[in-house]
Structures are given as C-alpha cells and as structure tokens.
Amino acid sequence: MKITAPTDNELMLQVKDGDVGKLGILFERYHGKLYGFLVRLTNRRDTSDDLVQEVFFRILRYRNTFRGDAPFTAWMYQLGRNVISDHFRKEKQGASLSEAETSTDPESSPAHLLEQIEQNDLLHLALSRLPLDKREVLVLSRFQGMKYEEIGQVLQCPVGTVKAKVHFALKELREIYLNLSEEAIL
C-alpha cells in the first residue's frame, strides 16, 4: 500500500481545523519559492526574509478564511501580495536594486563570466524599473513557474487578462533592457 503525502490544500484545511503544526510542512514546501517571489518584487534580500515570516504569520492568523476551493499557493501568493503592498505603503518607497545573484561556471572564461554578470545586472535593473504590477506578473509566471490559471486566481482576473499582462510586461521589460544596454555601451 502506497502512502501519499497530503496535498497542500489538505494540510491547510488541517491547519484551519486547529492542527497548526501542519503549517511547518507548508513552510518547508514553500518558503523558498515565496522568498524568491518577494525578493524579486522588493529587490531586498534582508527585507524579503522578514516578509516571508509575515506571510506565514498571516497564513496562521487568517487560516479561517481559507476555503480550499482554489489551490493553497494561490491563496498564499495573494497574502504575499498583501504583505508587499502593506510593506511599500508603510515604507513609502519603491523597490531598490540589490546585488544580483549569479551562478558561475568555473570552466567559463573571465570575459564570458563578466558578460553574464553584466547581462544579469541589466536584467535585474530592468525588472526593478517595471511598475510593481508588471513585475509581479513576470515574477509569478517566469521565476515562480506558475501557470496562467494559477496567476489568474492570485490576481483575481481571467486567464486572458493574465496572458495580456504577461505579454505587455515582457514587451516593456524588453524595451527597458534594450535602453539600458544601449546606455551601457555609450
């Protein structure tokens, strides 16, 4: 007999029913992805650590509002969006650029590594210059790997709207990136 791990929704429903220890399993499953989502929106690693904790605190606080008719992740990212909104409102500031994480291949030439770092920096800078709503949809679709249907649940809009938002956000990101690239050459 094969034992299957409980689904996210099953775990959250157990948390809702008072078994708050199950929240630890959800934290283990999602704190990394949630951190990635938050750091790409805030561009601040230190702040994002705190915001992850705040999201899971709100999951616990608002557990009674979880209905289970949509994926747990959609509900979690919606809480994350609320935390980001509250954070920006409280801080009254936009996102600031942090140092970009880069993966290095030891076999790559120094010139190639430098070019990769510069391109990565430009991409992060371009992403940070997008309006928050456009940055958010790109982070969810491209960095978090969420499907358009899931993003629609998070943003509370139809799939067609999500597709359009991603399209226009990518178009604007491309324009910003190309402008930054041209500025860097000059």
**151 vs 136: CA distance, rounded Å:** 10
Q: Rounded to an integer, what distance in angstroms lies between the CA atom of residue 64 and that of residue 18?
A: 10
Tens of pLDDT, residues 138-181: 889 888 888 899 999 999 999 999 999 999 998 998 898 888 88
One-letter amino acid for residue 119 of the chain: Q
Question: Which stretch of DSSP H or E encloses residue 93?
Answer: none
State how far the Cα of 22 lies from the Cα of 72, in Å rounded to an integer: 13
Tokens of 173: 């990101």
- Which residue ranges form the domains of the chain, and what is each CATH number? 1-92 (1.10.1740.10), 108-186 (1.10.10.10)
Residue 108: predicted pLDDT: 41
| pTM higher than the cut 0.85 | no
pLDDT at 158: 93
| Cβ burial 43-64 (10 Å sphere, 16+ → b, else e) | bbeebbeebbebbbebbeeebe
